[in-house]
Amino acid sequence: MSSASAKVSSPDIPPSAWAMVATLGVVWGASFMFIELALRGMSPFWLAASRILLAGLVTTLVWQVRGGRLYTGERRAGWPLMLGVGAASTALPFMALSWGQQYVTAGFAGVCMGMMPLLVLPMAHFFADERMSVRKTIGLAVGFVGVCVLIGPQAFQSSGASGEMLGRLACLGAATCYATSSILTRRMPPVDPVGLSAVTLWIGGALVTGVAIAVEGWPPIPTAGALWVIVVLGLVQTAMANLLRIMVIQSAGPTFTSLVNYQVPVWSVVFGIVFLGEAVEATLFLALGLILAGVALSQWGALRRLFGKA
């Protein structure tokens, strides 16, 4: 076989997929800025419940237009698994981020999300039969150093809040939840992705609403500014972004869609600095660089295949 034929040809990624994955990175990167703005006029758990329920309504309408079928095969998922996916993909991380961002900046929260692909690695090793290689282990170690820099006392200018360290841990906990939901979703039988999004959003919304009532009482009346931000979070950052993610996966595949992981932390820092006036120190950028380097190293084989290298 000639060297030319031995090379992997560059995949046929349509220009629309590049535009969608770039849009998705910006939209999700802006989420943390909008959460911080909404918290100025809404309590954290009701903020999480509102955006989830609104997104659930919109996603359900799209799902019904598509036929309303959840399973595409004969096998069905048990309710414990479905509840686990709903809790890990929406309820727990949305509550953690809304609560944690009372004490940390939008940039910090976004950089934490960059850890999600690295957290998936050890989980997949033990629970999804995807062995850790030397390269992946080194990438995980580099990313872990980035997290140590991130949660250190000089990661960025302190907000002065007494709960700042707990807020940092809550944001890292949200990333862990997303990683867990990724592993749980792999155990699902063949499903319609829009239907799965709709069902898990309603599960998450019900769980968060119950917690919000128990902890914060009945929902407060949000300020006009907070109400508009909640609508944007529900419609754009949650419902539209999930549907856009599905479109990217269907047109270009999950590996290509994973390029979003490199964009979200960067955009969260940019939006925090430009629109919220967040003051960051060099160590935050150091943490960002280490985390993204760890992700790139751990996913190097997939990235080489994606861009058609030998």
Q: Give the pLDDT band (50/70/90) at residue 81.
A: very high
Q: Give the pLDDT band (50/70/90) at residue 6.
A: very low
**Range of 99's domain?**
29-69+76-159+176-306
Q: Is residue 6 domain-resident?
A: no
Q: Is residue 23 domain-resident?
A: no
Which range is least confidently modeled, 29-33, 34-38, 221-225?
A: 221-225
pLDDT at 10 over 70: no
Q: Is residue 36 domain-resident?
A: yes
Q: Is residue 294 domain-resident?
A: yes
Cβ–Cβ under 8 Å, residues 269 and 111: yes
Q: Is residue 147 domain-resident?
A: yes
Q: Give the pLDDT band (50/70/90) at residue 248.
A: very high
Indicate the pTM of the whole model. Answer: 0.88
Cβ–Cβ under 8 Å, residues 31 and 233: yes
What are the pLDDT digits (tens) for 178-190? Answer: 999 999 998 999 9
Which helix (H) or strand (E) segment is 75 a member of? none
Rounded mean pLDDT of the chain? Answer: 89
- Residue 310: predicted pLDDT: 40
Q: Give the pLDDT band (50/70/90) at residue 2.
A: very low
Q: Is residue 302 domain-resident?
A: yes
Q: Is residue 164 domain-resident?
A: no
Cβ–Cβ under 8 Å, residues 238 and 52: yes
pLDDT at 82 over 50: yes
Our measurement of the distance from residue 113's CA atom to the centroid of its chain's CA atoms, rounded to an integer in Å, reads: 6
Q: Give the pLDDT band (50/70/90) at residue 157.
A: very low
pLDDT at 9 over 90: no
Mapping DSSP onto H, E and C, the string for 257-288 reads HCCHHHHHHHHHHHHHHHHHCCCCCHHHHHHH
**What are the start-end ranges of the H helices in the chain?**
3-6, 15-38, 44-65, 79-86, 92-100, 106-113, 116-127, 134-151, 164-186, 193-216, 224-232, 241-252, 254-257, 260-276, 282-298, 300-306
Q: How many domains is the chain partitioned into structurally?
A: 1
Cβ–Cβ under 8 Å, residues 267 and 29: yes
Q: Is residue 95 domain-resident?
A: yes
Q: Give the pLDDT band (50/70/90) at residue 1.
A: very low
Q: How big is the chain, counted in residues?
A: 310
CA–CA separation, 45 and 220 (whole Å): 11
